[in-house]
Amino acid sequence: MDDKGTDSKKTPADKAAASTPPAASQSTVTSSSSQSTTTPPTQADQPASTPARPASPTSQPPIMNSVMPPKKKTGLIVGIVTGSVVLLLAIAAVLLYFFWWQDPQRMVTDAVVNSFQTKKVVSSGKFVMNLGNGNRVDVKLKAATDPPKSKTEATVKLAINGMEIQQDITLTMVADGKGTIYIKSEHLKDIVRQMVETIIKARSRGMLPDTQSTMVRDQILKQFDEKFNKIEGKWLKVSFDELGASRTNKDTCSQEIFDLINTDQQVRSELINAYRKNSFVTVKKDAKVEPRDGAPGFEIDLASDGKMSDKLRAFVDSLGDTKLGKKIKECYGNKVFNTVKKTTSSKKLPTMRIWVNPWSHQLKAIEIKARGSDGDKDRDLTMDMTFDYSKSERIDIPSDADNLKSVLRDFAGSSPIPPFARGGASTDENDEDTDTSVER
C-alpha cells in the first residue's frame, strides 16, 4: 500500500526519468566490421522519432591501386615509342616517294623497263604526215595486245594536192603470233574510184569528146568495181611461207625473236639488266612538259652532247652477249648492231615526250614530232599515243580469209586503165606536165 501511494505521488517527469534505461546499456553500437564504435546521442539530445544512424565503415584503398600506376606508365611509354617509330617510317616513306620513287630519271627508266614486261595493253592515238604541196595523211590508230596476238585498226584520211578525199579508209590488221597476218580494208574502193575518175578526167581532156570520155570512165570504173569487190570488207591473209625463201627465213627469225621476248623470262631479265646498266633514254632537265591526266611529262634528251649515243653503244654491246643478242646475230649477223651504233646528227633528231604514271611507273603516253630539213620545212610528222593497262580486248583470228598473194596476182594480171589515161598516148609536153602534177 505504501508503495502504491508513493507511486501515485510521483510527477510525470519523475515517471519519465524512471522509465528511461541506463545510458550505459545503449552507449555503444558495434559495426558489422567490429572495427569502429560510435556513441549515439541520448533521447534528451534528439527527438525520439529520429532513429540512430550507424557509423559509415572506414573505406580502404583497393588492392589493385598499388599495382596500376606502374602498368599505366609502361603502356604510355610503349605507345610513345611506337608512335614515334610510325611517324619516322611515315616521314621516311614520304621522303623516299618524293626524292627516290618520284625522281624523273628513275620514272622514265622504270617506264622503259616495264614496257619490256607488259602483257595486255590497249592503246589509241594519231599519226599525221604532212608531205608538202598540200599532200597529207591523217591516221587515227587503235591497237590491242594480248601476246602473242595483236590487233591494229587505222582510219585513214587523205588530202591530195590540197583536196581532201571525202571518204575515210578503214584498215584492220590482226597478227596471230604464229607467222600469219590478216588484213581487211573498208571504203578503199570508194577512194580508188575517186582517184581514178580524177586521173581519167584530167588526162582525157582535149583528147576525147565529153560523151566518149564519160563512156570510157564508166567502163573503167566498172572493171575496177569487179576487182575491188573481191577485197572490199573481206579478210586477206599472208604468211611467212608465202613470201619467198629469202624473205621467209628472216621473217621466221623475227617471229622467233618476238617469241623469246614474250615467253622467255631469262631473255627479259637479261634485257632489263642490260638496260638498267646503260639507260640511254635520259630526261632533258631544262624542259617543261605539262602533265596529262595526272601523269607528269618529261622530254627525252636525244642529243645530250653525245652521252645518249655512248650509252646506246654500251647497251648494244652488253646486249650482244645475252641470249637475245646471240639470236639476233644468228638471224641478221653483226651488221644490225653496227647500224645501231652509228651516230645521227642532232639537227635531224625528233622531239620525244613521254608521260609516266606516278604510282606504277608505267608508260602513259608518248609523243614524237619530227620536221623536215631547212630546205623542206613544210614536211613534218607527228605521232601521239596513249596506253591503258587496265583494259583488255578480245582478239579473234579470222577463219574465212582469202589468200592475199593470189588476189594481188589477179590485180597485176591486167590493168583496166587505157594507155591514154596512163599518159602513154600523150605527146604534148604541156599536157605531160599537167599529167605529172595530177599524179602527185
pLDDT tens-digit readout, 216-233: 778 888 888 888 888 899
Does position 382 have pLDDT exceeding 70, yes or no? Answer: yes
> How far lies 271's CA from each of 279, 305, 347, 378, 389, in Å?
11, 25, 30, 39, 21
**Is the pLDDT confidence value at 356 over 90?**
yes
Residue 296 to residue 107: CA distance in whole angstroms: 10
Q: What is the pLDDT of residues 56-103, one digit of tens each?
A: 555 555 544 444 556 566 767 777 777 777 777 776 666 655 555 678
Question: Where are the extended beta strands (E) located within 147-296?
Answer: 149-160, 163-164, 169-175, 180-186, 235-239
Mean pLDDT of 423-436: 42
> Distance between CA 161 and CA 437 in Å, rounded?
9
Measured on CA atoms in the order 326, 331, 335, 341, is the torsion positive or negative?
negative
Q: Do the bridges between strand 37-38 and strand 135-146 make them parallel or antiparallel, or are there none, so unpaired?
A: unpaired
CA dihedral 255, 258, 259, 260 (to 10 degrees): 120
pLDDT above 80: residue 293: yes
Biggest CA–CA distance in the chain, Å, is 185
C-alpha cell of 198? Answer: 580524177
